[in-house]
Amino acid sequence: MAKYIYQHKNWTDFTWDYSKIAVVLGEVRHLQGKLLGTMNTLGFSLKSEAMLETLTLDIMKSSEIEGEKLNRKQVRSSIAKRLGLETGGLDFIDRNVEGVVEMLLDATQNYAEVLSEDRLFGWHSALFPSGRSGMYKIEVGKYRTGEMQVVSGAMGQEKVHYEAVEANNVTAEMDKFIHWVNEKPNVDSVIKSAIAHLWFVTIHPFDDGNGRIARAISDMLLARSDGSSQRFYSMSNQILKERKKYYSALEKIQHGDSDITLWLDWFLHCLKNALLNTEITLKSVFRKADFWERHKHTPLNERQMFVINKLFDNFYGKLTSSKWAKMTKTSSDTALRDIKDLIEKGILKQDEAGGRSTNYVLVSENENTGS
């Protein structure tokens, strides 16, 4: 009697009850279209910023699922540099950060390219540039030759969810998987993304990094479903929030037969939540877009525009006239004139919190409309 899904004959002839996922699939497709429509109304710089924010979040959270916390500034700087979005990046970026950025950008920016064994080996090599996972030496840029248990949890408290496909079957299973990924989809491409994630994780072809690569393949197929390399929602961020349900759904499917309705239902609801939560993660970008729309006819100099944009981008500390002068490389008198001009135009106001020096904050939209 088969213990795991892959031990069934023709196990990849997946089946599902379409009536149980039709509604949520329709909701996902509607939200995808609505989000892309909203983002297309933004100007190039705001759209780029939204994409930079989303990709940073996706990479951070995909690594966090595996218990690895990356440096946010390094991740953001590496993405920006590779996409040519900004120049003032960090001088030093860790090789591990560069590797994970390289992998996800290749998956999403080159989503239309075929998936190949060589491409997957390149991703794996990028993830483990030192040939080690932590302290342990692993097989890099090739399929594993040893057996594999899929576990979650901290060291010493690991929970075994299932044992992956036997090592001597990995190459044949991956050949079949790669061929299927590259075929023209005979199912909805969002469904294809869900199946690809499950199928790859079931094979678990590498010594380490399987979760991150599975999510990259999933993102690649979601980019195909959107027909766009521009990413504005993060599936990995939502998976991290629903991690227990994620592992539970995977485990149940691994111990079942080829009916994957339960997995598809979980994946689609997770994706729906990711799309709904985009508004929260991109709140500052939307606020900035709204601000510039309201002030498109307000005369402002370059210094004022520069500082206003900074105030929307997680500005650290409080804005003072001396900080303004330093940021814009100008005199304190000029800084004060710029600030007073913005106060008169209803853009800045004096912070009521006060302190030893006078601080300034942006006037909220509600204050401007009097609501």
CATH number at residue 306: 1.10.10.10
CA-nearest of 23, 18, 27, 25 to 261 is 18
Span of 6-15, 57-66, 144-153, 262-271 with lowest mean pLDDT = 144-153
Distances (CA, A) of 167 to 122, 213, 280: 20, 18, 43
Same domain, 194 and 133: yes
180 three-state secondary structure: helix
Structure tokens at 337: 């004139």
Return the DSSP state at 345. Answer: T
pLDDT digits (tens, 9 = 90+) for 156-205: 777 777 889 999 999 999 999 999 999 987 899 999 999 999 999 999 99
Distance CA 290, CA 308 (A): 13
- Decide: 268 and 24 in contact? Cβ < 8 Å: yes
Round to whole Å and give the CA distance between 34 and 28.
10
Kindly tell me if the per-residue pLDDT of 353 is higher than 70.
Answer: no
Domain boundary among 228, 261, 284: 284
Residues 260 and 314 in one domain: no
Number of domains in the chain: 2
Q: Are residue 124 and residue 26 in the same domain, yes or no?
A: yes
Task: Provide, rounded to the nearest whole percent, the portion of the chain with pLDDT above 90.
Answer: 67
Last residue in a domain, options 253, 284, 315: 284
Residue 276 lies in a domain: yes
Question: Domain for residue 41, yes or no?
Answer: yes
Q: Is residue 332 part of a domain?
A: yes
Give the model's pLDDT for residue 88: 56
Domain check: are 87 and 150 in the same one?
yes
Pair 92, 223 in one domain: yes
pLDDT at 185: 76
Q: Please identify, among 284, 304, 339, the residue that sits at the C-terminal boundary of a domain.
A: 284
Residues 6+ apart with CB under 8 A from 111: 220, 221, 223, 224, 229
Cα separation of 161 and 153, whole Å?
A: 11
Question: Are 214 and 307 found together in one domain?
Answer: no
More confident residue, 251 or 266: 266
- CATH, residue 225: 1.10.3290.10
259 and 304 share one domain: no
The answer as to whether 77 is a domain residue is yes
How far is Cα 306 from Cα 151, in angstroms, rounded to an integer? 48
Chain mean pLDDT for the chain: 90
pLDDT surpasses 90 at 206: yes
pTM of the full structure: 0.82
Counting every residue written for the chain, the total comes to 371
Short-list 118, 131, 80, CA closest to 101: 80
What range does the domain containing 211 cover? 5-284
- DSSP code for 144: -
pLDDT at position 331: 95
Structure confidence by residue, pLDDT tens digits, 8-33 = 999 999 999 999 999 999 999 999 99
